[in-house]
Amino acid sequence: MAAVTNETPIRVGLLGAGTVGSQTARLIVEQRDELAARVGRPVELAAVACLDPKETERFPWIDPAIVTTDTMQVATHSDIVVELIGGTTAARTFVMAAIESGASVVTANKALLAKYGPEIYAAAEAKGVDIYFEAAVGGAIPFLRPLRESLVGDCVTSMLGIVNGTTNYILDEMTTKGLDFDEVLKDAQAKGYAEADPTGDIEGHDAANKAAIMATLGFHTPVSIDDVTVEGITRITADDIAAATAEHKVIKLLAVVENGEAGVSARVYPALLPDTHPLAAVHGSFNAVFVKAEAADDLMFYGRGAGGAPTASAVVGDVVTVARHIAAGTTGPSIPLYKNLPLAPASASRAAFAVRFLIHDKPGVLAAVAGEFARHGVSINAVNGDLKPSATQPGYDGEIQQLRIVTHPTDEETLRATVDAVRGLDAVTGEPSILRVID
């Protein structure tokens, strides 16, 4: 075996050549001289694993001679393996095999890390290789690296993220155009901003994967996708948005991770934010993460959460960092999970809530609804029955009114029990929407 010199290329093996993979290949090939200057050794795109090599013919910067269908071969014969195939089963196999072979790994796979992150981090640490995944949360936004490396002398107490561009686009369109959810979703699908099966986005599961990763890294504690409570945006109506606007608020789907006295929590839910909050200015498909830390106070990181070139920018940033470590014979900081904080019980989650019910407007209905709130000990901050129901409202029969109740802070379990009790009332119909109120 030849000795390693400053001329010896660091060999990058790419698993997957889709939207992000092809752009990652382009940056590595086109920025070749730049990368070599920054790393101190050449960084070479040595192999591209792709189930259908014909797919790569569209990309003139990918040399057909390095394309193969043998993913395992690439995973186990590279200095750096870039995993961009997605999913959790095959990806896990290839990533673990890569680490076992002594390769460092760069991945954008949020589902993989939300499910198997701690196992993968531990394997990388045991083997003395790097695992970097900037693109897994917030796409192009350099956010996880600062969290891992810049805030290490500080203590992060909470993070609020707009980490799903599809839902942010939908809520933004509902806000600016006054349209209902279903209309905007159809339009977003037509324009390619939402997938044919949008469930993973609109039900919050994509954001939940990111919440698990954010909590794990922010609190040095393993938090899995199974620990994340999730609510999506499908019950939000144009009337909810109009009510928010009237109160100078906006509705955003947030991934919220907190480190409180009762332990750590990771949740995804739609929330009402004041329109002066920095996250309120995050429009369209942009992402942003708002961080609170003890010493640094408020921070926010903003940028494109998806897209081939933006995500590839983050991937290649990781590749350069890992390549520098390889050239120097070292690794970056491991993902330290030494704190092992407890998970907070659901009853520890306190907030003010805005609940919108659909009611048949007959005598006594307000007394009955308010009675359920009183019986559960939930204090009402504001009530508004003036909103006109939109005719597209599911269950609308021409007599239905909306009743919107904003509570004082209460715990989530009690709030849900109260809402269930109200739904059991004769005069109440349809699905209520529940929004958390964030100050």
* Footprint on this chain of a second copy (rule: CB under 8 A): 23, 27-28, 31, 34-35, 37-38, 134, 140-142, 145-146, 149-155, 276, 278, 280-283, 286, 288, 293-304, 307, 309-310, 312-321, 324, 328-330, 333, 336, 338
Q: Of residues 115, 210, 249, 252, which has the active-site annotation?
A: 210
Q: Identify whether the C-beta of residue 393 lies closer than 8 Å to the C-beta of residue 432.
A: no
Shortest separation between residue 140's beta carbon and a second copy, angstroms: 4
Q: Is 21 annotated as a binding residue?
A: yes
CB 235 within 8 A of CB 180: no
The angle at the Cα of 333, spanning 328 to 337, to the nearest 5 degrees, equals: 155
DSSP string spanning 186-201?
HHHHHHTSS-SS-HHH
Nearer to a second copy, 172 or 240 (CB): 172
CA-nearest of 216, 117, 215, 114 to 158 is 215
Least separation in angstroms between residue 416's CB and a second copy is 33
Exposed (0-12), middle (13-18) or buried (19+): which is 368, by Cβ within 10 Å? middle
| Number of CB atoms found within 10 A of residue 362's CB | 11
CA distance 74 to 17: 13
**Nearest residue (CB) to a second copy, 153 versus 363:** 153
Give, for 126, the enclosing helix (H) or strand (E).
Answer: helix 110-127
CB of 283 or CB of 416, closer to a second copy: 283
15 in a labelled binding site: yes
- For 230-248, b where at least 16 C-beta lie within 10 A, e where not — what string? bbbbbbbbbbbbbbbeebe
- Shortest distance in whole angstroms from residue 307 CB to a second copy: 8
Task: Evaluate whether 379 touches 408 at the Cβ level (below 8 Å).
Answer: yes
Residue closer to a second copy, measured from CB, 319 or 358: 319
DSSP letter at 428 equals: E
22 annotated as ligand-binding: yes
CB of 167 to a second copy, least distance (A): 19
For the bound state, the minimum distance from the C-beta of residue 60 to a second copy, rounded and expressed in Å, comes to 17
Whether 210 sits among the annotated catalytic residues: the reply is yes
Q: Name the token pair of 87.
A: 């999913």
Nearer to a second copy by C-beta: 182 or 275? Answer: 275
- Tell the smallest beta-carbon distance from residue 388 to a second copy (Å): 29
Annotated binding residue at 16? yes
Distance, CA of 116 to CA of 131 (rounded, Å)? 13
CB of 271 or CB of 319, closer to a second copy? 319
Q: Any known ligand binding at 17?
A: yes
Whether residue 347 is annotated as binding a ligand: the answer is: no
What ranges in 13-104 are assigned the alpha helix state H?
19-30, 32-39, 71-76, 90-100
Q: Any known ligand binding at 288?
A: no
Q: What residues are designated binding site for L-homoserine? A: 195
- Which residues have a catalytic role annotated? 210
Known binding-site residues equal 15-22, 110, 195
Q: Which residues belong to the annotated binding site for NADP(+)?
A: 15-22
Binding site membership for NADPH: which residues? 110
